[in-house]
Amino acid sequence: MKVLLINPLTPEKRMIHNTPNLGLGYIATALRKNGFSVEVCDGMKKGMTNKKLIDRLMRADYDVAGCQVYTCSLKESLEILKLIKSKNPGCITVAGGPHPSGDPEQVLTDLTEADFAFRGEAEEGLPKLLNKLAGHQECAFEEIPNLVRRDKDRILCNPLQPVENLDSLGMPSWDLIAPNEYPNAPIGAFARNFPLTTISCTRGCAHYCTFCANTRIMGRKLRARSSQSILAEMQLLYYDHGIREFQIIDDCFTSNRTIAMEVCRGIIESGMEISISFPNGVRIESLDEELLQSLEQAGCYSLGMAIETGSQRIMDHMRRGQTLEMIRDQVAMVRRACNIRMTGFFIIGYPEEKVEDVLETIRLSRSLPFSRANFTLWMPVPGSEMTEKLRKEGKLKDVDPDRIVINKISYVSENMTWDQMRKYFIKAYAGFYLRPAIIIGLLREIRSFEQFKYIMTRVFKLFFVKSE
Ligand code: B12
Ligand code: SF4
């Protein structure tokens, strides 16, 4: 059986950050281990256009098409699945990724042309499903981890079942998601070294933040690969693909201190000269001086710090389990312990927020010794506790899935207006970045004209493109 894995993206929606698609890479490995042949068609790759993607689909030489679905690509996914079914009616179509994971009960109703879907990880379930359909293996649908399927007029979702042993997955099929096939557009504008790739070392998170749906994908238990497996992958990427910077995309890498320390030691002993960054915010209480110094020695120069809000009331509502005092103390500790540059991550427009809370967030962002700040407009991502609550209250009927992206307003809370959201979003960025020390720091880090152009594009998109 030949499987085509797709991440649909129209050129108009081309994202600012483009990095190798680890999800499709891992699924490809699992399928290959089971004897399936696999191709990856990722809309994020260099030079990829919608036309090229459609041309590829038109060849119809595949038996199975797996489509990665983000909420913002729900419409494109449906179009692509329709096209596949019209050209290749016998093809088995499967949807997976963040959107089906957040909304498993609804996804097959929205994606009428998908035969099956998966919630969460699909490395175990997808090969099992295809082996069953191909008649290679007998098993009941109920035994297929994370499967979502139709049964007459019902949608049946198997329970979320995270993979127990991450080492058993092996590595993503790097030949199919080769870092050099992606543009130099890392997460966060300022990478230090190229070529660069993302890498995943742990999965899952044990916390309960109300705005987040990540645990609907990877579950509520933090699982880690062994340090040996992580180091072997880094070495392969370093020597075979020439990678010089790793962006660790885990939600909670530093929360497993043992593995984090082992990985740092392994990198230092290996002699690899690499830089490392954490483009997602880490849990701030997971950091201590010894760990930070080891990270720095291993090559870490940039750490995202998940702060989220400057209002204790909102922080409690978000169930972060943190206090502003603890945040100030930990940030000061990081500053003392190492020279790793810090980026603060904040949310603006959380449904319970009032203007005073947003102003507190803006004040906090400026008062902490951050070199960068990232303000994300709150998004009703399917599967988060807050989204589910608003949905039950009937308040999300008008949300356009296309707008579930980081810098578009997709939902306006009852305590604020659309104009206020826009105004405070810009005020937050301007208030943080338009300070001489920050500007000089940023200018010092621009290493090429290409990077300068890329940063200017981001600034333009942020401030000048109307989001309505
Ligand atoms: C790294 C990352 C990125 C990277 C790389 C994305 C990529 N295409 O791989 C970049 C920076 C490019 C990115 C961009 C965006 N991202 Co992002 N990203 C992440 C992050 C931090 C990790 C994803 C990851 O690589 N995980 C590791 C791999 C192994 O897991 P995975 O991708 O989930 O894949 C597994 C399963 O989902 C499933 N699966 C995945 N694909 C498929 C396909 C099939 C057919 C099947 C059966 C199964 C399946 O099996 C995989 C293996 O177990 C997550 C947060 C998180 N914790 O998940 C957010 C996250 C996925 N991103 C999110 C968002 C919103 C975006 C953007 C819209 C942001 C923006 N620009 O406005 C864009 C959309 C890009 C796109 N359409 O591809 C949301 C998605 C919410 C949603 N419901 O849509 C998340 C959950 C974060 C959040 N804020 O809630 N992102
Ligand atoms: S925001 Fe981070 S810490 Fe909170 S639940 Fe999501 S992944 Fe976990």
Pocket test for ligand 1, best of 4, 168, 215, 249 (most atoms within 8 A of CB): 249
* Cβ-Cβ contacts under 8 Å for 261 (sequence gap 6 or more): 290, 291, 294
How close is the Cα of 7 to the center of ligand 1, in Å? 10
Under 8 Å between Cβ of 268 and 296: no
Residue 336 has pLDDT above 70, yes or no: yes
Distance 333 CA to ligand 2 centre (A): 22
CATH topology of domain 2-157: Rossmann fold (3.40.50)
Ligand 2: residues within 6 Å at CB? Answer: 205, 207, 209, 212, 214-215, 251, 283
DSSP string, 31-62: HHHTT-EEEEEETTSTT--HHHHHHHHHT---
In the prediction, which pLDDT does 27 show?
Answer: 98
Given a cut of 60, whether residue 328 has pLDDT beyond it is yes
**Sign of the CA dihedral running 258, 264, 320, 318:** negative
pLDDT for 10 equals 67
Would the pLDDT of 463 be above 70? no
Lowest mean pLDDT across 9-13, 18-22, 257-261: 9-13
Domain ranges across the chain:
2-157, 186-463
| pLDDT at position 464 | 61
Q: What residues contact residue 409 under an 8 Å CB cut-off, 6+ apart?
A: 349, 377, 403, 418, 421, 422, 425, 467, 468
Give the pair of three-digit tokens for residue 332: 């000061």
> Token digits for 301?
């120069």
**Ligand 2: which atom is nearest the Cα of residue 251?**
7
Q: What is the pLDDT of residue 14?
A: 67
Cα 213 to Cα 205: distance, rounded to the nearest angstrom: 10
With a 6 A CB cut-off, is 149 part of the ligand 1 pocket?
no
Q: What is the pLDDT of residues 95-116, one digit of tens each?
A: 999 999 999 999 999 999 999 9
Q: Whose CA is nearest to atom 4 of ligand 2?
A: 209
pTM: 0.97
Is there a contact between 406 and 343 (Cβ–Cβ < 8 Å)?
A: no
Q: Is the CB of 256 inside a 6 Å radius of any atom of ligand 1? A: no
Note the pLDDT of residue 457: 74
Alpha carbons 158 and 180: distance in angstroms, whole number: 37
**Confidence grade of residue 11 (pLDDT, cut at 50, 70, 90):** low
Mean pLDDT on 214-242: 98
Task: Please report which confidence band the pLDDT of residue 308 belongs to, taking 50, 70 and 90 as the band edges.
Answer: very high
Residues 6+ apart with CB under 8 A from 252: 202, 204, 205, 206, 207, 222, 282, 283, 286
Kindly give the number of the ligand 2 atom that is closest to the alpha carbon of 211: 1
Per-residue pLDDT, 185: 79
Report which residue type is found at 80.
Answer: I
Q: Which two tokens stand for residue 239?
A: 């020597």
pLDDT at 370: 97
Closest Cα to atom 40 of ligand 1:
97
Q: Phi then psi for 274, rounded to 5 degrees?
A: -130, 160
**pLDDT > 60? residue 466:** no
pLDDT tens digits, residue range 152-170? 999 999 999 999 999 999 9
pLDDT given for residue 13 in this prediction? 65
Domain at 186-463: CATH code: 3.80.30.20
Token output for 202: 């742990």
Of ligand 1's listed atoms, the one at least distance from the Cα of 408 is 72
Q: Which of 12, 63, 68, 396 to mutate to test the pocket of ligand 1 (most atoms within 8 A of CB)?
A: 68
Tens digit of pLDDT for each residue in 166-186? 999 999 999 999 999 998 878
Which residue has a Cα nearest atom 7 of ligand 2? Answer: 251
pLDDT 10s digits, 198-214: 999 999 999 999 999 99
- The atom of ligand 1 lying closest to the CA of 126 is 47
